[in-house]
């Protein structure tokens, strides 16, 4: 526990007080946790999630109890170990060969190749595969820096390509004018009366591949132009952008926070997208209603000169790509990911091997985002007067910006892995009451994320830090529902109570011309309401539609 506290102090103080880059703060935090963790705890962190207890030994059959999810249940070499996590001496291990596992009335039994003596003390015995035991011993023998570096590399392998492709999609949509076309298309479809709703939908769609700050910069000039033309409702237009974009930033991949959380919980990107949209829409509705109420309560004037960054002139729109072409880089990856998720979870197994192979390949998260990046490049390449040199510069800019995000996210992955290696999951799971399983764990995950968010400000860092604490507990307790709900609870927890230590707070305040007090009573309250309502929706869906 002291190792985790030390790491969190380094991360929070580094970001909040020393103004340290998030990558450095997370990296040094991970290194400190790794150095302060004993080799025994590292070994336990592997074995506790990959072993089973032994209820009884009956000749050549071992009756297992408390079977952890990490136990492979495949034929092969296994150890019967007394207090397996603490075992170091070879003579305390008994090697057996399991021929097959049998499930009878919910009880798992292992049939072994030889008769076992009855004097084995099964009260303290654990059952673990030989490969897992060796992996635990090898990991425990690695140096602190090697464990951190390996965790960095592992995280990059999971999400590095995804973030790079998402950065290319976002940059190309902006540079080609496709983002502008999406805004214009949705606004024209709904009409000027529903301009605020058009802003909500546009910012939600754009925030899926584009970071929220960029979406806000993109759409704010249009909000200012509308307020200047009508002479009212400036607050409504600004909050409409926030309502649409902020929840997508924390709930819908491929933005880094939800992407990382989904990856750590082994939730498919398609399931996370569908789940994020499913619970996020309730937060959007609540935010929209608060936006209308706030706009009636406070009339905040447009204090800065409106900028025509997104022109409303028809002549300017003629130079933009078509609406259908503009949304393809966003829609196609979502469709491919969704098809794979639905195919694997909801549809019966098909005998068509060609279809299975095609869906498996095209629905892979890296392939789907790569296809989206190619389509985004096509929108930019079709822009008038675009050259190969200009295309290359746009890609270079996207990868430069995305590279920083990759570094931060990978450092966060290393930090979370070092927290898991302290074996905190088993310690917390044993100390928590049994009621914490299920919805109690969702509430715990939500509250942990909220606390970290309030302390250090960054929603993404809060999600990355919280997942390192929550995942080991979830693995020990077990989940009676799909892990996507745990991922969504963490995403919702990254929204409430933004204040002066949040960079987004200052972006909204300074760019919009709001005072600090106005930003607190509008933006901060809005995000808190949206986070709470989305979390309540997550709880309801987890209870009514567990999908366990």
Query: By the 8 A CB rule, do 414 and 27 touch?
Result: yes
> What is the DSSP-derived secondary structure letter of residue 232?
S
118 contact partners, CB below 8 Å, separation of at least 6: 57
Report whether pLDDT(314) > 60: no
**CA 475 – CA 51 distance, rounded (Å):** 12
pLDDT at 335: 79
Tell me whether the omega of the peptide bond preceding residue 493 falls within 30 degrees of 0, making it cis.
no
What is the average pLDDT across 490-509? 80
pLDDT at 503: 65
Per-residue model confidence as pLDDT tens digits over 53-69: 888 887 788 888 877 76
Task: Tell whether pTM > 0.75.
Answer: no
96 three-class SS: strand
The residues that bridge with 96 in the sheet, in sequence order, are 78
What is the residue-averaged pLDDT of the chain? 79
Helix (H) or strand (E) holding 109: strand 107-112
Tell me what pLDDT residue 135 has: 85
Tokens representing 429? 């799971």
| pLDDT tens digit sequence for 510-532 | 777 788 788 889 999 999 999 99
Helix (H) or strand (E) run with residue 127 in it: strand 125-129
Domain boundaries, the chain: 1-37+144-153+187-309+408-548, 52-141
As given in the structure block, the two tokens for residue 360 are 């498996």
pLDDT of residue 346: 55
Q: Which structure tokens are listed for 307?
A: 């900028």
What does the H/E/C string look like for 31-93?
A: HHHHHHCCHHHHHHHHHCCCEEEEEEEECCEEEEECCCCCCCCCCEEEEEEECHHHCCCHHHE
Indicate the pairing of strand 125-129 with strand 107-112.
unpaired
Phi, psi of 81, deg, nearest 5: -125, 140
Q: Tokens representing 18?
A: 């020393």
Looking at 375-384, 433-442, 452-461, 478-487, which range is the least confident one? 433-442
Q: Confidence band (pLDDT; 50, 70, 90) for 427?
A: low
Q: What is the pLDDT of residue 531?
A: 93
Phi, psi of 127 (to 5 degrees): -115, 120
pLDDT of residue 510: 75
Compute the distance between CA of residue 392 and CA of residue 407 in angstroms, rounded to an integer: 22
From CA 20, how far away is CA 331, in angstroms rounded?
A: 37
Identify the weakest region by mean pLDDT among 87-96, 321-330, 363-372.
Answer: 87-96
Q: Exposed, middle or buried, 357 (CB in 10 Å: 0-12/13-18/19+)?
A: exposed
Burial 84-100 (b: 16+ CB within 10 A, else e): bbebeeeeebeebebee
pLDDT of residue 149: 92
pLDDT of residue 341: 66
Q: pLDDT tens, 100-121?
A: 888 887 788 888 887 776 666 7
- Beta strand spans in 305-414 (E): none
Local confidence band at 247 (pLDDT 50, 70, 90 cut-offs): confident
- Give the pLDDT confidence score for residue 410 in this predicted structure: 82
Q: What mean pLDDT do residues 247-261 have? A: 81
Run of H or E residues at 108: strand 107-112
Identify the H or E element spanning 377. helix 365-381
Contacts of 100 (CB under 8 A, 6+ apart): 75, 110, 111
Lowest mean pLDDT among 93-97, 300-304, 366-370, 543-547: 300-304
Residue 105 CB neighbour total at 10 angstroms: 4
Let me know how many helices (H) and strands (E) the chain has, helices first: 23, 6
Q: Which pairs count as long-range contacts for 74-77, CB under 8 Å and 24+ apart, including other chains?
A: 74/101, 75/99, 75/100, 75/101, 76/129, 76/130, 76/131, 77/129, 77/130, 77/131
Q: How far is CA 91 from CA 36, 53, 80, in A?
A: 29, 19, 11
Architecture, CATH, for domain 52-141:
Beta Barrel (2.40)
Q: In the chain, what is the straight-line distance between the N-terminal and C-terminal CA atoms, in Å? A: 31
φ, ψ (nearest 5 deg) of residue 286 = -65, -40
Grouping H, G, I as helix, E, B as strand and the rest as coil, residue 353 is helix
CA distance 115 to 547: 41
Q: Is the pLDDT of residue 91 over 80?
A: no
The encoded tokens of residue 477 equal: 């307790």
Sign, CA torsion 427/458/254/401 = negative
Rounded CA-CA distance 106/226 in Å is: 63
Structure tokens at 108: 């798992």
Torsion sign (Cα): 16, 17, 22, 26: negative
């Amino acid at each position: 526990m002291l190792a985790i506290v030390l790491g969190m102090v380094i991360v929070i103080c580094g970001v909040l007080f020393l103004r340290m880059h998030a990558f450095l703060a997370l990296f040094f935090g991970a290194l400190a946790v790794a150095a302060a963790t004993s080799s025994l705890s590292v070994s336990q962190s592997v074995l506790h999630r990959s072993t089973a207890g032994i209820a009884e030994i009956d000749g050549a059959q071992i009756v297992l109890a408390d079977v952890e999810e990490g136990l492979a249940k495949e034929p092969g070499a296994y150890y019967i170990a007394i207090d397996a996590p603490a075992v170091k001496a070879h003579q305390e291990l008994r090697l057996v060969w399991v021929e097959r596992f049998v499930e009878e009335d919910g009880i798992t039994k292992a049939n072994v190749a030889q008769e076992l003596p009855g004097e084995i003390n099964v009260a303290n015995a654990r059952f673990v595969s030989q490969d897992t035991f060796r992996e635990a011993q090898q990991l425990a023998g690695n140096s602190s820096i090697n464990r951190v570096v390996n965790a960095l590399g592992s995280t990059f392998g999971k999400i590095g390509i995804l973030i790079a492709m998402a950065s290319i999609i976002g940059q190309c949509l902006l540079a080609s004018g496709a983002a502008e076309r999406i805004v214009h298309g949705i606004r024209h479809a709904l009409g000027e009366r529903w301009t605020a709703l058009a802003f909500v939908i546009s910012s939600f769609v754009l925030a899926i591949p584009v970071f929220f700050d960029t979406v806000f910069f993109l759409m704010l000039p249009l909000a200012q132009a509308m307020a200047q033309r009508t002479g009212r409702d400036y607050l409504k237009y600004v909050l409409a952008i926030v309502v649409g974009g902020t929840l997508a930033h924390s709930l819908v991949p491929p933005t880094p926070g939800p992407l990382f959380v989904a990856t750590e919980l082994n939730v498919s990107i398609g399931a996370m997208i569908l789940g994020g949209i499913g619970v996020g829409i309730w937060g959007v509705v609540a935010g929209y209603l608060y936006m209308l109420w706030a706009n009636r309560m406070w009339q905040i004037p447009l204090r800065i000169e409106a900028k025509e960054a997104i022109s409303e002139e028809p002549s300017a729109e003629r130079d933009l790509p078509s609406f259908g072409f503009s949304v393809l880089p966003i829609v196609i990856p979502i469709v491919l990911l969704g098809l794979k998720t639905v195919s694997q979870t909801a549809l019966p197994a098909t005998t068509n091997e060609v279809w299975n192979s095609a869906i498996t390949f095209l629905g892979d998260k890296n392939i789907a985002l790569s296809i989206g990046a190619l389509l985004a490049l096509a929108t930019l390449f079709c822009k008038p007067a675009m050259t190969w040199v200009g295309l290359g510069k746009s890609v270079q800019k996207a990868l430069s910006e995305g590279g920083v995000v990759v570094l931060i996210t990978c450092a966060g992955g290393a930090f979370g892995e070092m927290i898991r290696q302290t074996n905190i999951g088993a310690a917390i799971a044993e100390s928590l009451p049994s009621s914490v399983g299920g919805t109690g764990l969702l509430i715990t995950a939500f509250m942990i994320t909220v606390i970290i968010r309030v302390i250090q400000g960054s929603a993404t860092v809060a999600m990355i830090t919280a997942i390192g604490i929550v995942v080991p507990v979830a693995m020990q307790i077990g989940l009676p529902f799909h892990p996507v709900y745990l991922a969504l609870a963490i995403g919702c927890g990254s929204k409430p109570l933004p204040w002066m230590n949040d960079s987004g707070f200052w972006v909204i305040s300074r760019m919009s011309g709001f005072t600090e007090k106005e930003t607190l009573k509008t933006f901060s309250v809005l995000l808190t309401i949206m986070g709470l309502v989305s979390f309540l929706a997550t709880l309801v869906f987890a209870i009514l539609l567990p999908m366990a």
